[in-house]
Amino acid sequence: MCVKLLPQPDICMSSDVIIQAIVSGLLMGLIYALVAVGLSLIFGLMEIVNFAHGEFLMLSMFFSFWLWVLVGLDPLLSIPLVAAALAICGFATHYGIVRHILKAPMLAQICATFGLAIAIRSLAQFLWTPDFRTIQDPLVAGRIEIGGIFIGQPQLVAGLVCLTAFIGLWLFVSRTETGLALQATAQDREAAAVMGIPTDRMFALGWAIGLACVAVAGSMLSAFYFVFPDVGINFALLAFVAVALGGFGSIMGSLAAGISIGLVESLGGVLISPSYKSLIVFGLYFAVVLIRPTGLFGRY
Amino acid sequence: MLLELKNLEVAYGDYQVVWGVSLNVDEGEVVTLLGPNGSGKSTVLNTISGLVPVMRGDILVSGASIIGRPTHHRAGLGIAHVLERRRVFPHLTVQQNLLLGAWHREARSKRDATIAKVASMFPILRDRANQLANSLSGGEQQMLALARGLMAMPRLLMVDEPFLGLAPQIVEQMKDIFENIRKTGIAILFIEQNVRLALSMADRGYVLESGRLAVAGESKSLVNDKTVRKVFLGE
């Protein structure tokens, strides 16, 4: 089969390449989605934009990296440890910073999480230098071939782990009493409070869960991606796009938007040009924001 | 005495809105808080449930001060607050809204029994158990808000403008519901702007004017009270 390319209609491309791009985009999209859902959860709960989200991703990648270097623990096995560490970071961020600025003007809220981002990034540069690092010989490496399609095994495992985390999060939020209380707090915090729901604790829990999601994504990324202090910036940008596309506070919206971004990025890279892939993603974002400001699945 | 306010003063920043209000509600009583728009009625209820901090004065429940207790502890003290404009959780089902109403420990342990009782009081909610709350009509949402308040097994149910925006036949239905709640022994403190309607339902009433208590007394005596007419009709 032959697929025509947009800029060069005379060049023919095999359908394998397209399917390859779809599979890679899908797997990367699952990681984007898990990063985005943490951001979305925190915003949906208390209308605070976590500008330090990418830095928490970077932190979790470094935690994963150092656990591998110092203890020899593979990123796949250290997920629970890294998730627990980031959940603690979430509690600390809420009780140390966020709860004090909940009623502050928006500019103060922006400065607080943005300042946290800069502080964490600078600290990482100070402690670990700006070097690019990689994990050598992770437990899962190499690639498998299925009908002419090559899938990197770390990417495949990462996608599956992220999907599992996503399903777990969705079940927790929609099926447990605590999850219902989280939703109630997001929808009307005063009504939740007068019914006896400790809203401040729910906020803290939202931060812990949101950052634990980032931790799972970060652990998985560290197995096949460079680990360096600025690594979070690009992922955070994509997460903002995903949250805006999916609708603030919508879990399934984040999933759909994350996957869409992964697909658009990878297909755009193949069909048009890899150097334009970010342009296509942000162009899509711009179009959706103009046409449907509440996001594709948004309520707010 | 179930609830006692002593010289309550409340301010939003520098702007004081409640000036030395004292009122009380006894077990099983129905009391109404009347007053024109902006007279501080909702602020008084919000202060009792802890959504707004007290500047001066005291709030006692069964004789003990509850000042400084966070909002989410007050449901456990037997105070349920049905906020103005219903405030149901729009994207949760009727059933989920009701379950969340019984959050504090005591209410949760008897949740199944309470939900059966509440469902018999509000049969329409049983029919719509799996519908999202925002798909209900205004009257149904008000019933859900009341039912959710009852799920907390309160001794005092505070209701902020239960009849706001309801069709006349729904208002009649709602009056019957209030009568049924009263029969279960739960005290009610409610806000209403329609003086005649409120006094026909309540044992006693308090009238607020610009954050100050203008007059208080038995419903029968308030119906023809000169001050009440002055506050509401400007006579």
Q: Do A195 and B76 touch (CB under 8 A)?
A: no
Residue A118 lies in a domain: yes
What ipTM is given for this predicted complex?
A: 0.95
Residue A159 structural domain: 30-136+150-229
Task: Establish if A181 belongs to a structural domain.
Answer: yes
Q: How far is B25 from chain A (nearest CA, A)?
A: 19
Q: What is the pLDDT of residue A5?
A: 57
A236 in a structural domain: no
- The pLDDT of A187-212, averaged and rounded, is 97
Q: Is residue A217 part of a domain?
A: yes
What is the rounded CA–CA span in Å between residue B32 and residue B188? 8
Q: Are B81 and A200 contacting, i.e. CB atoms less than 8 angstroms apart?
A: no
> What pLDDT shows up at residue B231?
82
- Calculate mean pLDDT across residues A226-242: 96
Name every chain A residue with its beta carbon within 8 A of the beta carbon of B152. Answer: 195-196
Q: B152 and A196 in contact by Cβ < 8 A?
A: yes
Q: How far is CA B129 from the centre of its chain?
A: 24
Residue A63 has pLDDT above 80, yes or no: yes
Contact state of B100 with A193 under an 8 Å Cβ cutoff: no
In B, minimum Cα distance to A173 occurs at B92
Q: Are A27 and A220 in contact (CB under 8 A)?
A: no
Contact B50, B71 (CB under 8 A): yes
pLDDT of residue A250: 85
Chain B residues closer than 8 Å to A180 by CB: 92, 96, 99-100
Specify the DSSP class assigned to residue A148: T
- Nearest Cα residue in chain B from A250: B91
DSSP string of A53-65, one letter each residue: HHHHHHHHHHHHH
Q: Is residue A24 part of a domain?
A: no
> What is the pLDDT, as a whole number, of residue B213?
96
The minimal CB distance from B76 to the residues A183, A184, A196 is found for A196
Q: Is pLDDT at A180 greater than 60 in this prediction?
A: yes
- ∠ CA B150-B152-B153, rounded to 5°: 70
Inter-chain residue contact B100 with A199, CB threshold 8 Å? no
B99 and A187 within 8 Å at the Cβ level: the answer is no
Beta strands in B26-105 (DSSP E): 30-34, 56-61, 64-65, 79-82
Residue A187 lies in a domain: yes
At residue A11 the predicted structure's pLDDT band, cuts being 50, 70 and 90, is low
**pLDDT tens digits for B199-214?**
999 999 999 999 999 9
CB-CB contact of B174 with B142 (8 Å): yes
**In order along chain B (235 residues), what is the average pLDDT of each group of 10 residues?**
97 95 97 94 97 97 96 96 96 97 96 95 96 95 97 98 92 94 97 92 96 95 88 70
Instruction: Classify strands B156-160 and B187-192 as parallel, antiparallel or unpaired.
Output: parallel
Residue A249 confidence (pLDDT): 79
Residue A131 lies in a domain: yes
Task: Tell me whether residues A193 and B87 touch, CB distance under 8 A.
Answer: no
CB-nearest partner of B92 from A184, A199, A200: A184
A172–chain B nearest CA distance, Å: 15
Minimum CA–CA partner of A202 in chain B? B72
Domain count, chain A: 1
